[in-house]
Structure 1
Amino acid sequence: MFCNATGRLGYYRPEDHLVLAHTCTLTGGATTSDTEFLERVFAMFNDHPDPNFPSDTAHTSAWYDSGLRSLSVGDIVAINGRHYACDSHGWIPLRTP
């Protein structure tokens, strides 16, 4: 998870300054799509971890205990080398930022 540290709210731009904020390993079913993982990550880092995955609560606690803000539009999530920008309505796939 990369926080957009450019200092403005809004969409991701390639020139934005990104800061690695958190890394974690999430488990899911064999058919779990990137979209399902992204929605789960969004919930975790907006203080709504999925109760079906107990480890998500630990990631949420670690995130907020370190003083990080909620995951927001313009932040980036990486899944196995694929990168996605949080958008106002879902996620935008990116080339490596």
Structure 2
Amino acid sequence: MTCRWLWILVLAASSVQAQSALVGKKLISRGDSIDRVRDAGGKPDRLDRIDGDGETPPMQIWTYQRRDRTVTLWVVEDRIVQVSDKASSTP
């Protein structure tokens, strides 16, 4: 799947995903800076990078795995563009 299609899927999913999530002791929302996220939760437990192309900017996917939650943040140009906050599954 090309980066362009992935970006389109992320934007399309925005209407069904959370708009904010608790990271550390701060509420992180779409539009927040990565500096705010780092201040709240430190380094992510997982960091995935997706290269951009001529039509789309590069994207990062930051994942914070907590005891009972998984918070995933999509980052474009140092700003949060999407937030997902889901209950973690336990085996």
Q: Normalising by structure 1, report the TM-score.
A: 0.28
Q: Normalising by structure 2, report the TM-score.
A: 0.29
